[in-house]
Chains A and B, each alone.
Chain A
């Protein structure tokens, strides 16, 4: 592992954020099983280095769009675990006032345009924001996150083209976790994903998506390029989802991949990779990792408790928030 240009404090901070995502997701799964969270969630476990590596290169005025597997992207950019758990629990105190749930969490104040239930759908929105930044002469960058599956979705390919011809300040971040639900990317497309982006005229790179420091360095380079007005780029992060596609599909997880394959990727667990880097670079003292873990665990438990304590939306507010401007009898309810 080559040394990184990050100082120890930055690496520890990245480890902490990755651990926060890991613990958030582990507890989310438990809360779903316990019936504390309705429905299901797509867990980000195994892919933490991508969200944290990229987001460390961003500030709050840069915007991101996310995927159905979005919890990690939101926490990585500074999302509040209390408001996230509250959203998963359908509470009024949730990010989306209990209207969105797992697949739609957003924080417009932090430049997080939100998760999305439709593969590839956030990419054009990121282009639109990037176009506004460029029009207004602002130095901000748009970062759409998406998976390998989205690389076969028409709107994403349209977006790559528009970003290229407009020289947009945008970095497309492809989380290649090898599977579109159960379909291996090698069977769903020919050639490399980065080559495909390069063919559209984007600067394209591929990086080890299990190494947060490597992801950060590639992302920081491409973000700086975008801020300098040098146009759109594409970063393919090779990564892996350790858990099933979502918490409802655990039983079928081994119908399309093997336990041995999952184990081989777990040997390169992104939390272990960054922890080993800190160990070898003397970035922290013995006991520091356990201390961070304990702090994060306490923060997560506190967030869960505070979310649970908060109120559910009143049924009478069910029609709220769809429109900025309403009219007599509009929007219509269930009966008159």
Chain B
């Protein structure tokens, strides 16, 4: 049966189903009893304080505790209330959890999920609550996923929890209340499996997270002008569905990368490199990027908007790439 669920309700359903299936899953977080958004709703009542574990404000310890719990046979999930809270935990993420498996020579793997809530700018949250920090963790080799729909949120969270490696699950702040159809039965969407969210033939927009819906809206607007845009959602940022990306590039020959992480060494930069290395012969025009600006997100409304990728600049980029001869 399929119902309409919000993004966080879909996440909650994945957690309820996975925790029922696997008794080794524990969730570590801060402010769990008071968090009213919904992704952890009811879990403490259902599973108790030994599986839904509230911590003091100690992100570094929380992350290291999850690593130790994993080494001791648990399957922990770490709940970061907002994306920038991974920064106080950086050593435990990139220098410990990410590196230990190889350094241990395969003696142990660390089956840990990092739920990174509230990613990106939602308007007026300023410099320290508007980050999309996935390039940092991708760079460190931490598997990373960012869903764009409620259905993908449920399936990718289940996959992240089942994976025997650290996986960061990035939740776009602008989608947390968005609703969409979700199948009730448990399911997982495998990592490294992108999806065409809108079929088209003239140009591919690779869009990540909340930008997928914006890319689809732009595509519908451009359809009036006879421009047929394909929207491809990688969903899994690391590992990347290289075959899926190559297929859509081969189909359209023109690519606009639409990503809300920094321009320099951001996710779009990696996509551009992969496309250039693997699909050069298929390209009819240079790859274009519409990204976040390389600055701290400013507070004020107009200046904040100026730093973020949006539909206006996506449309300009699409028209520009189509005009390239």
Contacts and interface: CB of A to CB of B under 8 A. Distances in A.
Interface of A: 63, 65, 94-100, 104, 106-109, 113-114, 116-118, 121, 123-133, 135, 142, 154-155, 158-159, 161-162, 165, 320-325, 327-331, 336
A59 to B, nearest CB: 15
A325 B164 contact: yes
A158 B57 CA distance: 9
Contacts of A107: 107
A265 B104 CA distance: 35
Interface centre among B60, B65, B69, by most A CB within 10 Å? B65
Given A162-B56, A330-B238, A127 B92 contact: no
B60 A324 contact: no
Contacts of B74: 128, 132, 135
Contacts of B5: none
Given A104-B103, A162-B56, 5 more contacts: A95-B105, A108-B107, A124-B67, A129-B69, A331-B141
B50 interface: yes
B68 A158 contact: no
A321 B106 contact: yes
Given A125-B65, A158-B60, A108 B95 contact: no
Nearest to B192: A327
Interface string B17-45: 00000000010000000000000000000
B106 A161 contact: no
Contacts of A324: 101, 109, 111, 163-165
Contacts of B53: 131
Interface in B75-116: 76, 91-92, 95-96, 100-109, 111
A269 to B, nearest CB: 33
Interface centre among A63, A98, A116, A321, by most B CB within 10 Å? A321
Given A127-B64, A162-B65, A327-B239, A96 B165 contact: no
A22 B58 CA distance: 38
Given A128-B64, A327-B191, A108 B106 contact: no
Given A128-B69, A330-B240, A98 B61 contact: no
Contacts of A118: 91, 95-96
B243 interface: yes
Contacts of B73: 132
A98 to B, nearest CB: 7
Interface residues of B, number: 52
Given A108-B107, A322-B102, A126 B68 contact: yes
Contacts of A161: 56, 58, 61
Contacts of B66: 128
Contacts of A104: 103-104
B72 interface: yes
A7 to B, nearest CB: 33
Nearest to A123: B64
Contacts of A95: 105, 107
B71 interface: yes
A331 B101 CA distance: 13
Contacts of B163: 324-325
B92 A121 contact: yes
Contacts of B198: none
B197 interface: no
Contacts of B171: none
A185 B279 CA distance: 58
B278 interface: yes
